[in-house]
Amino acid sequence: MNFIRGTVMAIVLLLQPIVLLFKLLFGRRAQDAPQQLQAINHSAIVPATVVADSEDGIKNSNNISQQSDATGSASSPSAPPAGSNSGDDDSISLPLPFAEYEVFLSFRGPDTRHQFTDILYRFLVRLKIRTFRDDDELRTGEGIWPNLVKAIGQSKIHVPVMSETYAHSKWCLMELSEMAKRRKQEKGHIILPIFYMTNPRDVRHQTGPYQSAFQQHDKDFDSGTVQEWRAALNEIGALKGWHVKSKDEQGAVSECVSDVVWSHLSKNDNFSDTDELVGIDDSVEAVVEKLSLDVGGAAMVGLHGLGGIGKTTIARAVYNKISARFDRRSFLENIRETQQQKDGGISLQKKLISNSMRIDYVAPINSVEEGRRIIQDRVSQFKVLIILDDVDESFKFEEILGNSGNFACGSRFIITSRNMKLLSTFNESRCKLYEVREMGPQLSLQLFCKYAFKTDSPPQDFTTLSEKIVTTAAGLPLTLKVVGSLLFREEKSIWEDKLSMLEKAPQKEVKERLKISYDALEYETKQIFLDVACFFIGMEMKIASYYWRDCKFHPVNSINILLQRSMLKIGDDNEFQMHDQMRDMGRAIVCEENIEEPWMRSRVWDDKEGTELLLNKKGSKQVKAVRADYHRSFLGGMKPGQFQNLPELRYFEAEFAEFSGDFNNLVPNLKWLRLHFHYNDGQEPTNFDMSNLVILDLKGSIFLTDDWGGWSQIKVCLNLKVLNLKECALKRVTGGTIGMLKCLEELDLTNLQCNNWKQRVVDIGELPSLKVLKTIGVKHIPSYFESNTDDDEEEDDDDEVESEGEGIEKLPPSLKVLHTSFRVANLSELLELEELVVENCDFGLEIPPMWWKVSKLKSLTLHKTKFIVVAGTAPSFDQLRLPSSLTTLNISNCPYLEWIPTLENLNNLTELTITKCSKVLEVRGIQGLTSLQSLVIDDRDDLIHLCGLADLMRLKTFEIKESAPLSREALLLNDDSDDVFTPKIILYHIDELQGN
């Protein structure tokens, strides 16, 4: 034993010089490392642009200080050495870009690095929140500032830890100023200040230790810079935050901050459509049990069963039930449909990455292999919940996502499919299967009655008929819904007739039973149903209605019938939605028009078949609608000969189309043209008959030359109702193109890039039929357009009008919807206006003195609008009113807005949002909003106390921004005059708020 002890002592003595050498080489980071980045897990690495500025790039394990119980961090989670790798760096093929940081943590190293900041950082790490941990001491060169600005700009949440000597660091003040600037200019940036061992009053007013810091700054920096820093401290020091008064509070405050950060980042993405949730509790519990949530490793469960049997509904319910247990989650719907589209696999990968990383992933993915590498590098490191809905043979799990065994421990996958055999091939046959069976008789009857009678049970005289019809539905929820909706309020004789038809339908053919509802439709409604099934899923209802009306259909009546019969749904954005079984049935009906020859069908929705039809110059009088994608072909673009056999074509949609040649009136019946193309010199159509065109959608197209001959073609579209130039890139619009469109009702110029608008374009105010105008994001537009007196006259550059948001002098009184970034001068004349959105308007919204008398305005939104100006001679402040017809009022991110007109006359208001309006000190009249159902405000005591919640008898939703939800989380309130959060937590519950 003595020999062993001696040997160990000898080894320790030999190692001591080596340890000292390492400390000398790597211990002085303050001098050697200009900056550091903190990643959230073992495998993250620093972007190459940052590594070039840093010798060691990342903090090593010595930077994590292990706190004792005395520091209040006994409950702190243990963290891996920040920035360390579990393996070789070569194993990571892609770096973590700045865009993927979610929190920017700013602090003064000497004050908090080895205490509060480390504790907070470990809490954030535990929640898998990607945190950029900054430290002013580690910066030595000005070249790193652009990287810090980028990190601040791309982080969603900023957490400045304002300690006693925070203001002594120019870096900290520069960062704080940048945070304040981002908060004002960009939506979505949140600042959560922490006042560590310092008085918030000193921060706001630069007194105490902050006063001495600024005495030195006044000598070292110009007055403009110092004033900017003072303004930032004053603004951020007035925000709600946390006041850490002693080291004993460090752990509790860190945990509270991390929970609030998580609540901001974790959006409520649960599904709310619960109308189908009849009798599925047992199925949900069975699936959850098969997932074995308490067991390590990655697991997979496959739901299989007939189409329309409720697989997706159960998957959504499971998702809602368990998603909060995972670091990241993603629900990928309609995979079978997506896989059939061009680059469908890449689309699925982008959605998965966006959902999982909580970002809008817009970077190009050039191949499925590249997308798989990104998923394996950046998504698989998290504990994820991924739902893969409606999978068929075309979906290859490992090709799209990679090996499921590489995902973090505890990850779970749920796959729905009609094919049980297919599911058994996933995950090397370790996929647990769950068969979704038909509903039992009692539950089937309950679901059927829900749609047939709007109750849970049938009337006595319909009981026998109901039971017989339920039997024919064979327990399929979709069939029960559709048939029940079909029979709602129908006579008993109709019920008996439909029962006879159902009994004759093949027992296993869901389509045949659903088709009974289709067969009962009138001709017009059938055509509208088939149009939606083939082309218009996801399309805004109002846009498609223009098309149908010009086809002499009556869309309002037909859509209502389809809604009543559960054959169609309308989404939150008024877009068409349809169950995949309904969609497949509609497309099958079209295919049956001619099984072998697609060009003999009424609708060719498959872009492969559509492109083949055109390139082979096929077609027939039967063809009414075609979708094509010229990106799939190397045979050139759209040429006249391709349309010679399509005389009845009414709808045409094409991607990557080059459009040129003499069309010689080949498509005289075309009503809707959707093109995404890049125009080059010499590529323009001639004699393209647009006289019957109702909708022209050129969204995202690029016009690369100054003069596109197509403008002269558009002039003759005298029947045009909708013109969409959203996100187009133009060089100029000339010669009265827009002004000639006297029937135009909707004009969308959102984010249009146009350098030169010619002055002689007819005034938008002279478009007598215009109802919808959208100009948000347009950089250059004339303040008004003069009449075109000479189309042929050459115009020089002096005639060009460029304006950045100065205003539009005159708008047509017919307008019903206006989205704009420009000053609206004649607002009092827009008596038909129903929806007004003013965004990024430097000149503000002018409220006419008698505007409150407007009777049709339902929705008003102000966003990033500096102030409200009273036009002309204004009455007294107390007399200003908004239109009493308003049902929705949203005022957000308006930091320079100082007052809001009283709300006391808004008796019809149901939704009110007032957030990020820091200078608004009072909102009058909230107590009198007797119809209010939804209230969203900032977490400010002054606004909260003024709400008078007890008087809002119809209030259903009360949301406080920049705070945890009131129903589940703690609302932190101050208990002193510092107007900041303290560790004290007061719990409020919805029942208490409602006085129950």
Contacts of 22 (CB under 8 A, 6+ apart): none
Chain centroid to CA 101: how far? 18
At 259, list the tokens.
Answer: 């929970």
Give 524-549 as a DSSP string.
HHHHHHHHIIIIITT-BHHHHHHHHH
What burial class does residue 268 get, using C-beta atoms within 10 Å of its C-beta: 0-12 exposed, 13-18 middle, 19+ buried? exposed
Query: How far is 258 from 272, CA to CA, in rounded Å?
Result: 27
The C-alpha atoms of residue 47 and residue 148 are separated, in whole angstroms, by 13
Closest CA to 106 of 182, 216, 47: 182
From the list 216, 125, 237, the residue with the least C-alpha distance to 169 is 216
End-to-end CA distance of the chain: 74
Supply the DSSP string of 612-625, one letter for each residue: HHHHTT---TT--E
Q: How would you label 754-770 residue by residue, b for 16+ Cβ within 10 Å and e otherwise?
A: bebbbebbbbbbebeeb
For residues 800 and 826, is the Cβ–Cβ distance under 8 A?
no
Q: Is 596 a catalytic residue?
A: no
DSSP assignment, residue 375? I
Interstrand relation of 800-801 and 753-758 (parallel, antiparallel or unpaired)? antiparallel
3-class secondary-structure state, position 573:
coil
In angstroms, the Cα distances linking 887 to 541, 850, 910 are 22, 19, 5
Q: Quickly list DSSP for 797-826.
A: GGGEE--SS--BS---TT-SEEEESS-BTT
Q: Which two tokens stand for residue 729?
A: 């890139």
Report how far residue 667's alpha carbon sits from residue 129's, in angstroms, rounded to the nearest whole number.
56
φ/ψ of residue 944, rounded to 5: -60, -45
Gap between the Cα atoms of 172 and 106, Å rounded:
7
**CA atoms within 13 A of residue 971's CA, in its CB half-sphere:** 18
Give the angle 457-463-466 at the CA atoms, nearest 5°.
85
Out of 175, 655, 684, 745, the active site residue is 175
Contact 881, 852 (CB under 8 A): yes
Q: Are 959 and 926 in contact (CB under 8 A)?
A: no
The answer to whether 925 and 900 are in contact (CB under 8 A) is: no
Q: Do residues 846 and 820 make contact, with C-beta atoms less than 8 angstroms apart? A: no
Instruction: Pick left, alpha or beta for residue 241 (phi over 0 → left; psi -120 to 50 → alpha; otherwise beta).
Output: beta
Give, in order, the Cα–Cα distances in Å from 78 to each of 75, 111, 161. Answer: 9, 22, 21
Q: If you compute the radius of gyration of the chain from its CA atoms, what whole number of angstroms results?
A: 32
Torsion over CA: 122, 125, 129, 134 (sign) = positive
Compute the distance between CA of residue 342 and CA of residue 340 in angstroms, rounded to an integer. 7
The amino acid that residue 3 corresponds to is F
What would the two tokens of residue 890 be?
A: 């949203």
φ and ψ at residue 205, rounded to 5 degrees: -105, 5
Residues 653 and 624: beta-carbon distance below 8 Å? no
Torsion of CA 728, 729, 735, 737, to 10 degrees: -10
Which residue matches tokens 């319909």? Answer: 462
Contact 448/454 with Cβ under 8 angstroms?
A: no
Active-site residue set: 175
